[in-house]
Structure 1
């Protein structure tokens, strides 16, 4: 297998592992514990702050064999399938390339059928603001009164582009830019796991350049890791 970039290799698999978004993850954990998880949830915020990651963890939490649970086991069939991106009852859809009314109508029609082996059939739509107006209109009725076995998890960087008729039917969670100290702390942890030594000053430079986006920070870290690894392995 080829090299796996840090953002994928160390993608959080539980709510507690998500960095800098405790206001969202704790709210979701409380909702799961109380049995009051909304059927349609919108995650909005800047790029690289964990929107799709949190959606995937919520999908695992709702479909885990031990759940619904605040802490998915990551060992059952459902959890492992979602982690690997092959869950037959969890559909990850790119709103930018699946934005026509015909595609949304197909999604709506398929949502009527029961899940294959999970508790819920879950649709995760990334960059949902890219759907056409006709596609949004086709989704309205299902979004308002979905079957009991269906959940919709939306992610967007531009919530202001989503029609108010859709927003009013979703529970909204706004993710924020990640505190730079938290970004640095996370990168230090990953460097230890990768057995490389990078100075704290350099990690701070990366964090400032990332602008609070963990994905951007890890992409920059990926670029300098080869040089850092070579330096660490060279005898003094």
Structure 2
């Protein structure tokens, strides 16, 4: 996918702007990003003639399930008069049926959304129509999206046709909820799990599309978009589309920078997130609260700030265990350098404890009537936890007879009452009553 070209469209020139996810929708197997194992399996099947009767495509949103289904239908019906007259995965040249299939308007490639066609009557129409041969293509292909939405009776009505379909019929199912599909249906299909797309692959895809659009986008901005896309190519392209409108359209810029993307997504500056994390790991609650207040004042979302802290906690943990994690394209230079420094200094126990507090804190902030106040309390909890000694360190101090050092290390002793005494100093034995015998080892006057 070195040279990107817009996907052909039947839209008229004045039909309006096409979003990037549609404009650069993959049209061949080679265009699919991050799905090499599936492509290799299909290539081998087509070359050896071992073509299944039904396929089940599963994966999270935006990884290419429907697009793969259309490309698969295109490969099944690929035809160039005088050159190609058999199913193939080599779709370099446009075939007779290619444009109509990719635009979802071919008479022999029927797409159905199971979310709005859930009943047995809809499946009965398919099973009855499947008996008739295709009008112009080699195969009649049924693409059923979100197949898990079908009712139990609809699934049962499909079983017989799915097990012994006519030779001219192929089924392609797509779903995000594979566990809701009956085993009886799964056993009749070849299953392909489309993987989340790696952040490095998404960054490369976004960079090529930005170049095709003659739009300069900084590497840090691309990394932020790829991270926000969470492995979904469609989500990432939608965010790139939004960034182009937000940056170039609003401010007249010729380059989309990281600041533009942060403003668009409501993110704090990554360096400031790391500053906040550093204050917390030092146990400095006052500095952490001041930094969060400054970020909140410029528009940062409290939930996003805590999510960024959790993400950075995960990165530092990975850097401590797998130092090579810092070389990933989605990791900025600032994150790499400061993350490694923190990884050398912090213990896995503290990082794990911080992660647990952040996960619980995010849920609390989401449910709170005033998220910024709830976030403040989460930060205080984090700073307190960071200031606590590890169990091994506390046990060592006790064994060495340094209980006073242990008491001094506890955050509770920082607010001792006036006079210099600590709560521990008041934990004395009660005075014996007059006439009572003295304790063992206690001298009498």
Could you tell me the TM-score, scaled by structure 1's length? 0.96
* 1:204 aligned residue: 223
For the 8 Å contact 1:64–1:73, the answer to whether it is kept is: no
* 2:248 aligned residue: 228
* 1:28 aligned residue: 42
Distance 1:124 1:51, change over 3 A: same
**Offset of residue 83 of structure 1:** 1.6
For the 8 Å contact 1:42–1:171, the answer to whether it is kept is: yes
The answer to whether structure 1 residue 139 and structure 2 residue 158 are counterparts is: yes
Higher relative contact order (CA 8 A, sep 6+): 1
- What do you get for the CA RMSD once the two structures are aligned? 1.2
Larger Rg: 2
Aligned equivalent of 1:217, options 210, 223, 236? 236
* 2:180 aligned residue: 161
CA distance in 2, matches of 1:126, 1:225: 31
CA distance in 1, matches of 2:188, 2:64: 22
Identify the structure with the greater strand proportion.
Answer: 1
Identify the structure with the greater helix proportion.
Answer: 2
* 1:188 aligned residue: 207
SS at match of 2:117: coil
Aligned equivalent of 2:130, options 95, 106, 111? 111
SS at match of 2:195: coil
CA distance in 2, matches of 1:134, 1:228: 52
Question: C-alpha deviations, 1:179-213, integer Å up to 9, x for none?
Answer: 00000000000000000011010110011111100
For the 8 Å contact 1:74–1:80, the answer to whether it is kept is: no
**Offset of residue 74 of structure 1:** 5.0
Aligned equivalent of 2:194, options 175, 194, 203? 175
* 1:54 aligned residue: 68
CA distance in 2, matches of 1:194, 1:30: 35
Question: C-alpha deviations, 1:111-156, integer Å up to 9, x for none?
Answer: 1100001110000011000000010001000000000000000000
CA distance in 2, matches of 1:77, 1:87: 11
* 1:5 aligned residue: 19
Paired residue total: 233
CA distance in 2, matches of 1:152, 1:74: 25
The answer to whether structure 1 residue 99 and structure 2 residue 99 are counterparts is: no
SS at match of 1:151: strand
**Offset of residue 26 of structure 1:** 1.3
**Offset of residue 72 of structure 1:** 2.3
**Offset of residue 77 of structure 1:** 2.5
Could you tell me the TM-score, scaled by structure 2's length? 0.51
